[in-house]
Amino acid sequence: MTETKFLQYKLKPFLIEAVADLGFQEPTEIQRRLIPIVLKGESAIGQSQTGTGKTHAYVLPILNKIDPAKQEVQAVITAPTRELANQIYQEILKVTKHCDDDKMISARCFIGGTDKQRTIDKLKTQPHIVVGTPGRINDLVKAQALVVYTASTLVIDEADLMLDMGFIEDVDQVAARMPEKLQMLVFSATIPEKLKPLLKKYMENPAYIHIEPKQIAAENIAHYVIPARHRSKIEIAFQSLQLFNPYLAIVFTNTKKMADKVADGLLEKGLKVGRIHGDLSPRERKKVMKQVNDLEFQYIVATDLAARGIDIEGVSHVINIELPSDLDFYVHRVGRTARAGASGVALTIYEDSDEDALNRLEKLGIQFKNVDIQKGEMVETGDRNKRKKRQKQVDDLDVQAKSMVRKPNKVKPGYKKKMQAEVTKIKKRQKRVQRKK
């Protein structure tokens, strides 16, 4: 079944073999729409949800076009983080291992935090495919160690994150050294205004592929919200994790400082916790990622770097210690779970001030279940706004009752008490009427 679905693209036999080995049942929507475009050598901009099969949508057709007989760089793939670059590289290796010995396709990953001189020494033979972070690739190009003018394809993955992290200039400098007729493939969750000049500079009438999510987040994620109510969020997170007993959980925070605070708090409570944020050195991040992949941690505390830049397999639960200020990141965060058809749970600890953000997410189609921890159990609590609604109803009755009690023409001592007693009497009568209804 797998073979017949991908045979339509007339991919080389080793790619069909690799697809079967990877266990792909059939192409995803972005793969169906993008593979033919990439095979034709056309440029494209792709917007799609996380976990839609985007990486293989460009990796498979790019590998199909590589000529193993030419020992030169034929494609450059850039990613904003070392972890994401390494993940793309690993996916390429899973496919290229199916190449025939006499037609091997070579790929290399170039990221910061590695020995630059040793990398330069190894570049006496140019690889067919280069994957890496823009800064390191640009350094190697400027050092004349990496030759990119032979490459006809440039991929910019997570372009909006690339922009946020200040890498667009490096991408521009690499692209400037590539052929004039360049196939550029850009993938981005959003297309910010500041990204448009780069796209205009290198892309002429690109195909635009926007995969509309069937809903804002994957269908098989259960979304829960729990009120903080002046309690310790770390304590709530700890109790929730104990109740969930996840296979692997990511606890998201908005800042590095908060990530450290939460990680330290959970460690003090006896949980073995990994942490991932931008202040870690390359060596520390590499070590944590290895520990995560080796299943040494059941819990990871992370900033939004992990929401977009890192693909961690097997995440069963996501906990938001705080809602992100950019609500797009809610989708990216919860998208770490329920991947490849699995189900997942996302729990958000909210303050009263988050009500507007939660309402906006609900308008976008997220269906929250309201829960709380009571007597060591997580229980559903019904409508989180019922207290406000009850308060509003009382206020409305108050206004109504007061409008029915008139101030006497001649004011006598104690008139205010009498008026209030009258208001209370009317309110009681109105409540009885409402209850009967």
DSSP secondary structure string for all residues of 25-82: -S--HHHHHHHHHHHTT--EEEE--TTSSHHHHHHHHHHHH--TTS-S--EEEE-SSH
**What DSSP state is assigned to residue 384?**
T
Q: How many Å apart are CA 292 and CA 247, to the nearest integer?
A: 12
Give me the pLDDT at residue 402, please: 61
Give me the sign of the Cα torsion angle 73, 74, 80, 83.
negative
Beta strands in 162-286 (DSSP E): 183-187, 207-210, 221-227, 249-252, 273-276
Q: Is residue 237 part of a domain?
A: yes
Q: How many Å apart are CA 309 and CA 358, to the nearest integer?
A: 25
Q: Is residue 343 part of a domain?
A: yes
Both 376 and 403 in a single domain? Answer: no
Both 130 and 177 in a single domain? Answer: yes
Both 120 and 232 in a single domain? Answer: no
Both 113 and 143 in a single domain? Answer: yes
Both 121 and 93 in a single domain? Answer: yes
Q: Is residue 215 part of a domain?
A: no
Q: Is residue 385 part of a domain?
A: no
Q: What is the pTM of this model?
A: 0.65
CA gyration radius, the chain? 28
**Dihedral pair phi/psi, residue 49, rounded to 5°:** -65, 160
Q: Is residue 422 part of a domain?
A: yes
Strand partners, 348: 225, 320
- The token pair at 120 is 């330069």
Both 103 and 234 in a single domain? Answer: no
Chosen domain end from 210, 234, 263: 210
A 10 A CB-CB count for 269 gives 14
- CATH code of 226's domain: 3.40.50.300
Both 160 and 249 in a single domain? Answer: no
Per-residue pLDDT of the chain (437 residues; tens, 9 = 90+): 334 588 888 899 999 999 888 878 788 889 999 999 999 999 999 987 666 778 999 999 999 999 999 999 999 999 988 888 988 999 999 999 999 888 899 999 999 877 788 888 888 899 999 999 999 999 999 999 999 999 999 999 988 888 878 899 999 999 999 999 999 999 987 788 888 999 999 998 899 998 876 555 667 889 999 999 989 999 999 999 999 999 999 999 988 899 999 999 999 999 999 998 877 777 887 888 888 888 888 999 998 876 666 678 888 999 999 998 777 778 888 888 877 667 889 999 999 888 888 888 887 788 899 999 998 899 998 777 654 544 444 455 566 656 666 556 665 666 667 767 777 777 677 767 666 55
Both 350 and 411 in a single domain? Answer: no
Q: Is residue 425 part of a domain?
A: yes
Both 312 and 373 in a single domain? Answer: yes
Q: State in Å, rounded, how far the first CA of the chain is from the last one.
A: 61
Give me the pLDDT at residue 54, please: 87
Distances (CA, A) of 247 to 36, 117, 305, 316: 38, 41, 21, 6
Closest among 280, 278, 328, 325 to 305, alpha carbons compared: 278
Both 56 and 173 in a single domain? Answer: yes
Both 30 and 118 in a single domain? Answer: yes
Q: How many Å apart are CA 375 and CA 116, to the nearest integer?
A: 57
Distances (CA, A) of 123 to 10, 72, 95, 147: 33, 11, 22, 9
Give me the pLDDT at residue 342, please: 75
Chosen domain end from 162, 179, 210: 210
Cross-sheet strand order for the sheet of 221-227 = 273-276, 299-302, 249-252, 317-320, 344-350, 221-227, 368-374, 377-380
Classify residue 7 by burial, with Cβ atoms within 10 Å: 0-12, 13-18, 19+.
Answer: exposed
Number of domains in the chain: 3
User: What SS3 class is residue 409?
Assistant: coil
- Which structural domain range is residue 286 located in? 221-380
Per the CB < 8 A criterion, the answer to whether 61 and 85 are in contact is no
Write out the H or E segment, with its range, that includes residue 173: helix 168-176
Both 103 and 62 in a single domain? Answer: yes
Q: How many Å apart are CA 43 and CA 428, to the nearest integer?
A: 71
Measured CA angle at 37 (ends 36, 42), to 5 deg: 150
**Residues 6+ away with beta carbon under 8 Å from 195:** 159, 160, 163, 168, 188
Q: Is residue 102 part of a domain?
A: yes
Chosen domain end from 163, 187, 210: 210
Q: Is residue 216 part of a domain?
A: no
Q: How many Å apart are CA 168 and CA 15, to the nearest integer?
A: 32
Give me the pLDDT at residue 164, please: 79
